[in-house]
Amino acid sequence: MPREDVEKLLIAGGEDKHFRAKYDVPATREEFVTLAAGDGYTFTVEELDTVLKESGDVFEKNGNPPKRSIWWT
């Protein structure tokens, strides 16, 4: 189920800093979803946006170096 895949990816990123760093690289949501598909996570940009909105997370990067604050712990 796509929603579960988004949640699994966000949890994986929260648990593994190397995994998280890999997903901090893509500049766009489309690139992020494509990268996730390569790792076996199946969801759309819209499904990603829905989960992030519901959890109050924002996809954009911040800080130096730029990182996302979407990861669940």
Domain count for the chain: 1
Asked, for residue 9, whether it belongs to a domain, the answer is yes
pLDDT at 12 over 90: yes
Asked, for residue 48, whether it belongs to a domain, the answer is yes
Question: pLDDT confidence of 73, banded at 50, 70, 90?
Answer: confident
Residue 57: per-residue pLDDT: 96
Cα angle, residue 36 at apex, residues 3 and 67 outer, rounded to 5°: 100
For residue 47, the enclosing domain spans: 2-55
Report pTM.
0.94
Asked, for residue 35, whether it belongs to a domain, the answer is yes
Residue of 38, 58, 61, 62 whose CA lies nearest to 48: 58
Segment 14-69, tens digit of pLDDT = 999 999 999 999 999 999 999 999 999 999 999 999 999 999 999 999 999 999 99
